[in-house]
Chains A and B, each alone.
Chain A
Amino acid sequence: MSTVSETTHGSAVAMSAAPSPDDGLSAAELAKKYGLSVSGARPSLPEYARQLWDRRHFVVAFSRAKMTAQYSQAKLGQVWQVATPLLNATVYFLIFGLLMQQSKGMGIPTYIPFLVTGVFVFTFTQSSALSGVRAISGNLGLVRALHFPRAVLPISFALQQLQQLLFSMIVLFAFLLGFGHMPKPSWLLIVPVLALQFVFNTGLAMILARLGSKTPDLAQLLPFILRTWMYASGVMYSLVEALKKTHAPGWLVDVLSANPAAVYINLMRDALISGHAAHKHIVLPQHVWALGVGWALLVGVGGFVFFWKAEEQYGRG
């Protein structure tokens, strides 16, 4: 037996390695000579993007599998994908529409679609953020078991939320029709809005995934941040109208209505809800599409680079 290698600690086995030209080499030189690479080293950014693209089928299959697994223990199964948003919207209709008769000056037929759109669109970002923050820390088993670009995880979770949102949109369309908002060409605008919001959410999920993997406490804190964000984005009321009433300074109104959640919510409302009452309350800030694209690019690309920077450390937990 001559294949025994040298160890740092004195072994009890007598070493009788045959002389080899590699004997004098250090570990690094030996590795270089035979073209070995450092295990678990972070690939370059283009290489990382390429690896990620190679796993695109895994991303799709993983998010779909998560989606199916979500309701697999329930007796009604996949019906819940539509039933959950439907019940959500019905609760809002019962409370605000029938019980409190509250319509923020829009009239019930406008206010309920206005509210439901806001809730669904914000929930899309909210649940992407919440699943993003646990994307690494909640899947350490997977991270430590298999080798794949870790960005697969936050991207899969964001994609899963997109699929959930598409089911919610079915309910939203039903509500819109029920309250007399007929389909019009501007409904097509929801496609680019959703695409932009999805890119934004994915970037956000990647940022939070890295932060959450280092600081698990963030998962506890995030719901409160998100709730604050929700109230600051005018999910349940017209942001501009509400701020006018409090005589808020102009710059605050501008800043709040330029925040990404408010931008995507209002773009969606503007595309879907028709009527004079609605247009008085859906105030789009200037250059709203530029804002939508800008937020998506900034957070999408920035989040990807930020996530990649710590790629080799996610296994540590």
Chain B
Amino acid sequence: MAEQNDTRIPTVIADDVHIVYRVYGGNTGRGSATAALNRLVRRKPGAGVREVHAVKGVSFTAYRGQAIGLIGSNGSGKSTLLKAIAGLLPTERGKVYTDGQPSLLGVNAAMMNDLTGERNVILGGLAMGMSREEIRSRYQGIVDFSGINEKGDFITLPMRTYSSGMAARLRFSIAAAKDHDVLMIDEALATGDRAFQKRSEARVRELRQEAGTVFLVSHNNRSIRDTCDRVLWLERGELLMDGPTDEVVRAYEKETAR
């Protein structure tokens, strides 16, 4: 594990972050029309709205050059926390400070399924703020990295015809084409085949070396061990453990083995 010197530069600071989802229609039962009208008039959430406290007071500081794994059971708040770091979900309390604009790469990052892979590469690049020239020059690299065209000319087919693994590969390739100060990967590597996982893990290490910070959510402990030097363990929205990969993953495995 790389020992770091004293000049650690923070890239992400989470300060007592709380995130609350408000879910409409997750009704507890009583939702009469008059009650609904009353709520609208008084402008306060009532019985029809359920609040889900997904992240409860998480604090940590991430430094440049770190690759941080996030582990925890399903619904423990990992993805939600990443969305808040990316500034995509507003926090209820607490603040997230970041260096530049973090990019989040998720399993269901929006792609337009009716459009060809080709159009999606261009749209995704434009949405990330790349110029047309940049996209044109990196286009072939993105397609090659995704390996979409290995079994024939699939990039010119609509994305709805792709298998979930192919779609995930293309999404990762698009996002990884840009240099990010802070990149967050949310289980995006899980659906790819072994060859692609190897390639993307190499890319994650590369991004780290470019003095960025990488967050990785995964249920695959091996992939966490291979790429991360620090791990945060979340459970029920709370930070249970924060430390070197070996220790945290071992404790987590012990807990889940029971």
Enumerate chain A interface residues (CB-CB to B < 8 A).
Answer: 1-9, 11-13, 18, 20, 22, 26-28, 30-31, 34-41, 54-55, 57-58, 61-62, 65-66, 68-69, 72-73, 139, 141-148, 215-216, 312-313, 315-317
Contacts and interface: CB of A to CB of B under 8 A. Distances in A.
A65 B112 contact: yes
A239 B178 CA distance: 56
A26 B13 CA distance: 10
A317 B103 CA distance: 20
Interface in B48-77: 57-63, 66
B96 A65 contact: no
B159 to A, nearest CB: 10
**Interface hub of A12, A20, A312 (most chain B Cβ within 10 A):** A12
A52 B104 CA distance: 20
Q: Looking at chain A's contact residues, is the secondary structure mostly helix, strand, loop, or mixed?
A: loop
B227 interface: no
A145 B66 contact: no
Contacts of B248: 13
Nearest to B16: A8
Nearest to B240: A9
A73 B243 CA distance: 51
Given A2-B4, A30-B61, A69-B114, A315 B239 contact: no
Given A38-B95, A57-B132, A69-B112, A145 B6 contact: no
Contact of B10 (A36, A147, A312): A36
A54 B21 CA distance: 31
Contacts of A145: 88, 104, 106, 108-110
B31 to A, nearest CB: 12
Interface stretch (B120-128, B137-145, B195-203, B217-225): B120-128
A1 B88 CA distance: 32
Contacts of B63: 3
Contact of A36 (B40, B58, B99): B99
B243 A13 contact: yes
Interface residues of B, number: 72
Given A4-B230, A4-B243, A34 B109 contact: no
B88 A5 contact: no
B35 interface: no
Contact of B8 (A3, A13, A38, A58): A3
B22 A316 contact: yes
Given A35-B99, A58-B127, A315 B89 contact: yes
A179 B83 CA distance: 58
29 contacts: A2-B3, A8-B239, A9-B238, A9-B240, A11-B239, A12-B241, A13-B241, A20-B6, A27-B59, A27-B95, A30-B61, A30-B97, A31-B10, A34-B99, A36-B11, A36-B99, A39-B84, A58-B126, A61-B123, A61-B126, A65-B119, A68-B119, A69-B115, A141-B108, A145-B88, A147-B101, A148-B127, A312-B87, A315-B88
Contact of A39 (B3, B60, B98, B114): B98
Interface string B221-250: 000000001100000001111111001100
A213 to B, nearest CB: 12
Contacts of B21: 316
Contact of A4 (B9, B115, B242): B242
A5 B98 CA distance: 16
B114 A144 contact: no
Contacts of A35: 99
A143 B109 CA distance: 9
A61 B87 contact: no
| 5 nearest A-B residue pairs (beta carbon) | A40-B87, A13-B243, A27-B15, A31-B97, A69-B114
Contact of B110 (A8, A146, A316): A146
A145 B21 CA distance: 16
Nearest to A316: B90
A55 B123 CA distance: 11
Contacts of B132: 57
B129 A54 contact: yes
